[in-house]
Structure 1
Amino acid sequence: MRQLCSDLRKIMMPYTAKELNESGSTKIVDYVEFSKQAHVTHLITLTSSISMAALNICRLPNGPTLTFEIQNYCTMKNLRSFFHKELNHQISCDEASYFKDPAICILNNFTSTESHVQLMSLTFQNMFPPVDVKSFKLSHVKRVVLFNYDEEDETIEMRHYGIKKNSDVITPFRANTLKKSASKKLSEVRKKLDRAKEELQALYKKRKDMKQKLGKKADDKLLDKVNKVDDLSDPYVSLEADIALKEKTVLQYSEKETLYKKELDELTHVNQLSNPSSSASSSNVPTMNNFQAESIEVDDMFEANSRTKVKIRLEEVGPRLTLKLRKVVEGVFAGETIYHSVFEDKPEHVKEAERQEREEKKKLKEERRLQQEENVQRKKREKEEKVEKQKSAFLKKFQESLEQDPDLLNDENDLAPADVESDDEQDMEEQDDVPSEIAEGDEEEDEENFQDEE
């Protein structure tokens, strides 16, 4: 499911939270509040349980919320390993350019008039930015998302395709080359067509002779009976099969001839537009009609030279999803159930009773919230009052001690830092005194020793 979540983010790029880190402590309410601040329009969540995996699409800020059952899914990684397409390799190597612009949303078969089908259609459309026809550029479109609705089983197939574009500019030189190739193919097809027509005429003649022989021996009823025989060992039935096959071959060659002839005419037209002097009038006397014709041909020439044919090919990128709508609720992940695929629609009086019950619960919840806020403010006031009482009691006790001993404040002021000698200074003085006494004692002993020696 984590891989599927990452793939869904890639589909919605660049307008998605690509590096959002989910945590177990974060709740849906937190995501909803953050989405409102970030001006997010839709919130997509994935949930899985033992019974089923679900995809929820919520329209912010007021709902509704659509819950889909994920019947089947396939991730981008699985499709890439299965197909080994060149486009998939190109997308994996250059994700920045492919996912720089949003994808185009295409809906198919959402033509039902039922309310839940129309709601799904609007939800899928609004999930992607609209296409502005005036500023639309084909070079900026590299992805397309297709939603196909199956009315029989009420499932939705979602596919994500990459667009591969090949531009084909028809220049005069290339037009001549293509013209030669088309004329060669046309001549080959005409030869095959003529040969097939000759063979078909021979088969027609053979069938005519066989009918004449059968007509001499049997009437039309017998002929109809022979025509209905399915045994190919019968000569007449075998002949009819050969004729049908040859007619099909002639029809195919005729279609190819028409196609090549049309292509040859188009290439001839492009070649004429690129060389307007060759198609101009051979008259040396210029007339107004000639000037108009030349101007039109020149305009057509520029238009033909600027005409570009673009071949578009869709290659599946993934992920694949098969969804089925289970229910629709009115609010943001909660509220009245608008649609449910399993349970039948409830009567109006039951809906009204449930609505009143929800309103009462909501009102009770609001009252509890207000009461809780009042309790918090009350406890805060009580704490402040307690601190004030402690301060006043301390000041009162200090004043009573001053009244009993007025010199207490003066004694405290007399203890200045300059009048108090530190223990370190006393130790220093003692250390200075001790060496001097020792030195005097040593001098007296030296004098006594000197006198004794004398």
Structure 2
Amino acid sequence: MARKKRRTHVKVDETTANNPNAQKIPKSFVFKSGHVGKSVEALVRDVRRVMEPHTAIRLKERKSNRLKDFVAIAGQFGITQFLIFTRTDNGTNFRLTRTPRGPTLCFKVLKYSLIRDVLASQINPLSFGSKFHTPPLLVLNNFDGEENHLKLMITMFQSMFPSINVNKIQLADARRVVLFNYNPDTKIIDFRHYSIGVKPIGITKSVRKIITSNVPDLHEYRDISEFVLRDGHISESEAESGVEATVTLAQDFVGKINKKSDQRAIKLIEIGPRMELQLVKIQSGLCDGEVLFHEFNKKTPAEIKSMERERQKKKQEAALRRKEQEKNVERKKAEREAHRLATSGRAISESKDEEIEDDDEDSKDEDNYNEDEDEDEDEEDDDDDDDDDEKDEEQHEQQQSSADEMDLDPKYLEN
């Protein structure tokens, strides 16, 4: 059987990627800072699942990484939020900050439960793999106060997820819900994460199982009527189907039986994680800056003014140090340039002297070479003369021998 190729890359929406005026999608980094332990590390992974798909799900932190390292790369990836988890001797802390200039909300995590803990408490836990392909819907409950810190919390929570256009949203994209519930008496925020499901109304669980599944399990029954008509199979939670819990589907929803204009009841299934958060303070910058709100430390107007003066003084000193550093950098650049010019001029003069010496040596070598060639030529001429004399002697001897053989006078053989 031939192997079927599965594409793993995510398709990019070119209409938004090439449009500079398109709405900016919030993206986030969820990471830990310092040593937090395995339980908080698991919580970080679970919160990344909540923030999918617009988060770095496989982000790897190192012990040597600092906040400035994440800030340096945030702009390249369009990151708008940091969700930072830390742990101290007093407990677990959670910071929600907006890049690159803040503000920062600092929470104390009073309690938390992981996804595996929530699923372990359910009788029939479901698989939620495909539900993380789209961002969740955001629900804020009881944030009705007029305090400035509540308004800022609302704005920060809303900026974590993409905004919704009711006229253009696809019903099949609404798969999850993130709930922030504020208790004004205890000032505690409950964080919950749910999966959205729908179920047919007006039918029993047995009939719904036949409709939704391919083949129900009938090994304990002699006939299908026993499976459909069995008593006591409807729980109290399943029997609750009032007018407020019933909706008419405006579009086709996920599932083969959830078609447009059908009556369905909404069902929320908790995925996890859970958290109980308490706002401790709000800072104006990225994990630093002026403290805009503090739950426990209250400042008088005089203390606030003195702190503001100290802050302004530190800013001025930092600006002076920065100017002095810039001047030092420019001075060092000028010194390096002057040194380079001086050393380059000296090197040029030395190279010229070396070239002249090389030319003199070359000329001397040429003269010596020419003299050697002349001597070689004279020796070759002498050798040639000697060869000619030897040849003449050999020829004369040959003539003499031939004349003796023929009894002729050798003078008759000469031309």
TM-score under structure 1 length normalisation: 0.56
Match of 2:53 among 14, 17, 35: 14
CA RMSD of aligned residues (A): 3.5
1:70–1:321 contact (8 Å) kept in structure 2: yes
Residue 223 of structure 2 corresponds to none
Match of 2:161 among 113, 128, 136: 128
CA distance in 2, matches of 1:388, 1:19: 51
Match of 1:336 among 272, 285, 290: 290
Q: Which has the larger radius of gyration?
A: 1
CA distance in 1, matches of 2:314, 2:185: 40
Cα drift, residue 345 of structure 1: 2.9
Match of 1:119 among 112, 129, 152: 152
CA distance in 2, matches of 1:378, 1:323: 52
Match of 1:4 among 43, 54, 71: 43
* Alpha carbons of structure 1 residues 405 and 75: separation in structure 2 relative to 1, 3 Å: closer
CA distance in 1, matches of 2:287, 2:366: 71
Give a deviation string over 1:229-271, Cα, whole Å, max 9, x none.
xxxxxxxxxxxxxxxxxxxxxxxxxxxxxx9xx99xxxxxxxx
Alignment of 1:211-250 (within 5 A): none
Cα drift, residue 136 of structure 1: 2.6
Is 1:67 aligned to 2:103, yes or no? no
Is 1:324 aligned to 2:363, yes or no? no
Is 1:346 aligned to 2:300, yes or no? yes
Alignment of 1:174-185 (within 5 A): none
* Alpha carbons of structure 1 residues 360 and 406: separation in structure 2 relative to 1, 3 Å: same
Residue 331 of structure 2 corresponds to 378
Cα drift, residue 403 of structure 1: 7.1
1:169–1:308 contact (8 Å) kept in structure 2: no
* Alpha carbons of structure 1 residues 342 and 410: separation in structure 2 relative to 1, 3 Å: farther
Identity of counterpart residues, as a percentage?
A: 31
2:106–2:280 contact (8 Å) kept in structure 1: yes
* Alpha carbons of structure 1 residues 399 and 80: separation in structure 2 relative to 1, 3 Å: same
Alignment of 1:222-371 (within 5 A): 307-347=261-301, 349-371=302-324
Residue 432 of structure 1 corresponds to none
* Alpha carbons of structure 1 residues 397 and 364: separation in structure 2 relative to 1, 3 Å: same
Residue 25 of structure 1 corresponds to 64
Residue 391 of structure 1 corresponds to 344
Give a deviation string over 1:161-196, Cα, whole Å, max 9, x none.
1112224699xxx9xxxxxxxxxxxxxxxxxxxxxx
* Alpha carbons of structure 1 residues 310 and 396: separation in structure 2 relative to 1, 3 Å: same
Q: Which secondary structure does the structure 2 equivalent of 1:147 belong to? A: strand
Q: Which secondary structure does the structure 1 equivalent of 2:303 belong to? A: helix
Cα drift, residue 319 of structure 1: 0.4
Cα drift, residue 361 of structure 1: 1.5
2:176–2:195 contact (8 Å) kept in structure 1: yes
CA distance in 1, matches of 2:271, 2:366: 86
2:177–2:193 contact (8 Å) kept in structure 1: yes
Runs of 4+ in 1 over 6 A off after TM superposition: 401-406, 412-416
Residue 210 of structure 1 corresponds to none
User: Which has the higher mean CA deviation after the structures are superposed, 407-416 or 352-361?
Assistant: 407-416
Q: Which secondary structure does the structure 1 equivalent of 2:178 belong to? A: strand
Residue 25 of structure 2 corresponds to none
Cα drift, residue 397 of structure 1: 4.1
Q: Which secondary structure does the structure 2 equivalent of 1:72 belong to? A: strand
* Alpha carbons of structure 1 residues 142 and 403: separation in structure 2 relative to 1, 3 Å: closer
Match of 2:142 among 102, 106, 109: 109
TM-score under structure 2 length normalisation: 0.60
Match of 1:164 among 185, 191, 197: 197
Alignment of 1:69-88 (within 5 A): 69-87=108-126
1:169–1:307 contact (8 Å) kept in structure 2: no
2:93–2:107 contact (8 Å) kept in structure 1: yes
Residue 152 of structure 1 corresponds to 185
* Alpha carbons of structure 1 residues 407 and 61: separation in structure 2 relative to 1, 3 Å: closer
Give the counterpart letter for 2:150 in structure 1: V
1:402–1:408 contact (8 Å) kept in structure 2: no
Is 1:410 aligned to 2:360, yes or no? no
In structure 2, stretches of 5+ residues that fail to align are 1-39, 208-239, 244-258, 373-415
CA distance in 1, matches of 2:283, 2:366: 77
Q: Which secondary structure does the structure 1 equivalent of 2:108 belong to? A: strand
1:58–1:333 contact (8 Å) kept in structure 2: yes
Is 1:34 aligned to 2:34, yes or no? no
Q: What is the aligned length?
A: 283
1:402–1:409 contact (8 Å) kept in structure 2: no
Cα drift, residue 19 of structure 1: 1.9
CA distance in 2, matches of 1:108, 1:169: 31
Q: Which secondary structure does the structure 2 equivalent of 1:66 belong to? A: strand
Q: Which secondary structure does the structure 2 equivalent of 1:342 belong to? A: coil
- Indicate the structure with greater helix content: 1
* Alpha carbons of structure 1 residues 388 and 309: separation in structure 2 relative to 1, 3 Å: same
Residue 383 of structure 2 corresponds to none
1:159–1:321 contact (8 Å) kept in structure 2: yes
* Alpha carbons of structure 1 residues 388 and 163: separation in structure 2 relative to 1, 3 Å: same
Give a deviation string over 1:17-75, Cα, whole Å, max 9, x none.
22222123332123224323433332211111112211111123332110000011111
Cα drift, residue 336 of structure 1: 1.1
* Alpha carbons of structure 1 residues 107 and 398: separation in structure 2 relative to 1, 3 Å: closer
Q: Which secondary structure does the structure 2 equivalent of 1:145 belong to? A: strand
Greater RCO structure (CA 8 Å; 6+ sep): 1
CA distance in 2, matches of 1:55, 1:405: 75
2:119–2:125 contact (8 Å) kept in structure 1: no
* Alpha carbons of structure 1 residues 409 and 386: separation in structure 2 relative to 1, 3 Å: farther
Cα drift, residue 324 of structure 1: 0.1
CA distance in 1, matches of 2:67, 2:272: 27
Cα drift, residue 147 of structure 1: 0.9
